[in-house]
């Protein structure tokens, strides 16, 4: 967890005054103008209550469902405002963007709605559904590079060669003003809110929400959340300036950013009360909870605020609004994440154990699992490993279980029956 760093000018409620330089000249009036501009374009997404999370937190918890926004995420807000404010000459040159998913779709739709030609560079390995959706929204898609940095460089080179306007995903005042409209809707839909929790990548959404909320309700806390494997804000806040980190692999690719944007960083530094980090297990558990309890399909980055609530539920003052920033998740990735989430929640158990290779041995093993009510999903046999004895076989089991206590019961039952559990 990274609290607000020392040395930043503080107002009486822990936030910098709205007219100071760190806010990059953006005011709540800019956000209001963006809100007018988005009328009839973006949706005022639903605010859904969560009884389960409310019980954990001990106060009302509401989910701001930007996963139900057009293009499946909040990105259409900032992209539309940015492109709409281009000059006629700039529009004629077209726009270009680089993204693996949500920003790509937001730019593609916004440009189509405004009659502007768009080119979107995406990594070669981008999920096929996201590539197809970006094309369907009207963009010319070019696949380039295997990591986002390579894709970004290609898009910027294209802008230099063609004169197309590069639409940055978060580091521009118009983008931030557009994303800030989420904050205006939160205050309108839940006027009693005390804490807003939002995922943070480059910082555009968090900066916009913090600017809107703190300008109108400085008593409301704004808490940012990053994946622990890709957390560039904690060291940056500690240093008082954007610091680049090497992001590791995380399922939350929507907030996997190596360096905060210069413009959003100043706002986050001044107005966001704290930035927390969550683990991969917490992210997958949050995604599973959104699906099972709230009946909402949410991508890992969008579920990060829920992950923070699950990790330390009693540390948030309610009522709480958690922003579900997006719902664009590849079905194959969803399958893997759900399995990971089930394992983290004690609902899925993998075991390897050794038994004597004789007729009936496997049937006896499965009989024990039946007694403890563990559902067998998959069984694998290994007979040729040099570590095995001549009459031994190693069996790998994938089981559906009912929680951590049940997992312990399964292991204990197998050990009591004399089985050597090699690993789980």
Instruction: State the DSSP string of 264-305.
Output: HHHHHHHH--EEEEE-HHHHHHHHHHHHHTS-----TTTTHH
Q: What is the pLDDT of residue 21?
A: 44
Q: What is the pLDDT of residue 386?
A: 61
Q: Higher model confidence: residue 115 or residue 255?
A: 115
Q: What is the pLDDT of residue 129?
A: 84
pLDDT confidence bin for 13, thresholds 50/70/90: very low
Tokens encoding 330: 């590849």
pLDDT confidence bin for 384, thresholds 50/70/90: low
DSSP, collapsed to helix, strand or coil, labels residue 236 as helix
Q: What is the pLDDT of residue 16?
A: 41
pLDDT confidence bin for 389, thresholds 50/70/90: low
Percent of the chain at pLDDT > 70 equals 91
What average pLDDT does the segment 212-225 reach? Answer: 97
Q: With a cut of 80, say whether residue 350 has pLDDT above it.
A: yes
Q: With a cut of 80, say whether residue 7 has pLDDT above it.
A: no
204-216 and 181-189 helices, crossing angle to 10°: 50
Distance of alpha carbon 230 from alpha carbon 34, whole angstroms: 30
pLDDT confidence bin for 332, thresholds 50/70/90: confident
Q: With a cut of 70, say whether residue 22 has pLDDT above it.
A: no
Which of 281, 296, 302, 394 lies closest to 347, judged by CA? 281
pLDDT confidence bin for 209, thresholds 50/70/90: very high
The string of pLDDT tens digits covering residues 263-273 is 999 999 999 99
Q: What is the pLDDT of residue 120?
A: 97
Q: With a cut of 70, say whether residue 53 has pLDDT above it.
A: yes
Q: Higher model confidence: residue 173 or residue 347?
A: 173
Which of 316, 301, 341 lies closest to 54, judged by CA? 316
What average pLDDT does the segment 17-29 reach? Answer: 66
Spot the catalytic one: 64, 75, 221, 256.
75
Q: What is the pLDDT of residue 383?
A: 60
Tokens encoding 360: 């009936």
Q: What is the pLDDT of residue 2?
A: 40
Q: What is the pLDDT of residue 239?
A: 95
Q: Do 169 and 75 form a contact (C-beta atoms < 8 A)?
A: yes
Give the 3-state DSSP-derived string for 58-97, with helices as H, strands as E and coil as C: CCCEEEEEHHHCHHHECHHHHHHHHHHCCCHHHHHHCEEE
Q: Higher model confidence: residue 150 or residue 167?
A: 167
pLDDT confidence bin for 353, thresholds 50/70/90: confident
Q: Higher model confidence: residue 93 or residue 6?
A: 93
pTM over 0.85, yes/no: no
Computed on alpha carbons and rounded to an integer, the radius of gyration of the chain in Å comes to 24
181-189 and 28-37 helices, crossing angle to 10°: 90
pLDDT confidence bin for 395, thresholds 50/70/90: confident
Q: With a cut of 50, say whether residue 18 has pLDDT above it.
A: no
Q: Higher model confidence: residue 251 or residue 222?
A: 222
The string of pLDDT tens digits covering residues 176-203 is 999 999 999 999 999 999 999 999 999 9
DSSP, collapsed to helix, strand or coil, labels residue 228 as helix
Q: Higher model confidence: residue 62 or residue 421?
A: 62
DSSP 168-226: -SSSSHHHHHHHTHHHHHHHHH-TT--EEEEE-SSSHHHHHHHHHHHHH-TTSEEEEEE
Tokens encoding 263: 């413009």
Mean model confidence pLDDT for the chain: 88
pLDDT confidence bin for 424, thresholds 50/70/90: low
Q: With a cut of 90, say whether residue 362 has pLDDT above it.
A: no
The reply to whether 350 belongs to the active site is no
Q: With a cut of 80, say whether residue 288 has pLDDT above it.
A: yes
The reply to whether 75 belongs to the active site is yes
Q: What is the pLDDT of residue 1?
A: 38
pLDDT confidence bin for 14, thresholds 50/70/90: very low
**Residue 301, φ and ψ in degrees, nearest 5:** -60, -40
Taking the CA atoms of 139, 151, 332 and 341 in sequence, report the sign of the dihedral they define.
Answer: negative
Q: What is the pLDDT of residue 391?
A: 65
75-84 and 102-113 helices, crossing angle to 10°: 40
Max Cα-Cα span within the chain = 79
Q: Higher model confidence: residue 390 or residue 57?
A: 57
């Amino acid at each position: 967890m990274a609290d607000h760093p020392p040395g930043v000018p503080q107002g009486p409620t822990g936030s910098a005054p709205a007219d100071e330089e760190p806010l990059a000249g953006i005011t709540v009036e800019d956000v209001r103008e963006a809100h007018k501009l988005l009328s009839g374009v973006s949706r005022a997404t639903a605010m859904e209550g969560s009884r389960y999370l409310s019980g954990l937190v001990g106060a009302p918890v509401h989910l701001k469902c930007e996963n139900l926004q057009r293009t499946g995420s909040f990105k259409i807000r900032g992209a539309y405002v940015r492109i709409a404010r281009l000059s006629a000459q700039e529009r004629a040159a077209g726009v270009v963007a680089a993204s693996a998913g949500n920003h790509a779709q937001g730019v593609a739709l916004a440009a189509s709605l405004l009659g502007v030609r768009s080119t979107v560079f995406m990594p070669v390995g981008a999920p096929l559904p996201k590539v197809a959706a970006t094309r369907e929204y009207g963009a010319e898609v070019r696949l380039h590079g295997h990591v986002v940095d390579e894709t970004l460089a290609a898009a910027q080179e294209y802008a230099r060669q063609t004169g197309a306007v590069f639409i940055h995903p978060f580091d521009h005042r118009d983008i931030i003003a557009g994303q800030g409209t989420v904050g205006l809707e939160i205050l309108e839909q839940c006027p009693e809110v005390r804490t807003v929790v939002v995922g943070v990548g480059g910082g555009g959404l968090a900066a916009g929400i913090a600017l809107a909320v703190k300008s109108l309700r400085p008593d409301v806390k704004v808490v940012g959340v990053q994946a622990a494997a890709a957390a560039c804000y904690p060291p940056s806040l500690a240093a008082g300036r954007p610091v680049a980190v090497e992001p590791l692999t995380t399922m939350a690719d929507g907030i996997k950013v190596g360096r905060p944007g210069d413009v959003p960083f100043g706002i986050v530094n001044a107005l966001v009360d704290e930035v927390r980090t969550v683990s991969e297990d917490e992210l997958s558990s949050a995604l599973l909870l959104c699906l099972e309890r709230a009946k909402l399909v949410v991508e890992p980055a969008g579920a990060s605020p829920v992950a923070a609530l699950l990790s330390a539920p009693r540390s948030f003052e309610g009522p709480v609004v958690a922003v579900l920033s997006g719902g664009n998740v590849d079905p194959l990735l969803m399958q893997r994440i759900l399995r990971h989430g089930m394992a983290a929640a004690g609902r899925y158990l993998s075991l390897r154990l050794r038994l004597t290779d004789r007729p009936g041995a496997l049937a006896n093993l499965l009989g024990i699992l039946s007694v403890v009510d563990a559902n067998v999903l998959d069984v694998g046999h290994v007979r040729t490993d040099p570590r095995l004895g001549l009459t031994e076989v190693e069996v790998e089991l994938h089981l559906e279980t009912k929680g951590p206590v049940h997992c312990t019961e399964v292991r204990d039952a197998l050990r009591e029956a004399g089985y050597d559990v090699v690993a789980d």
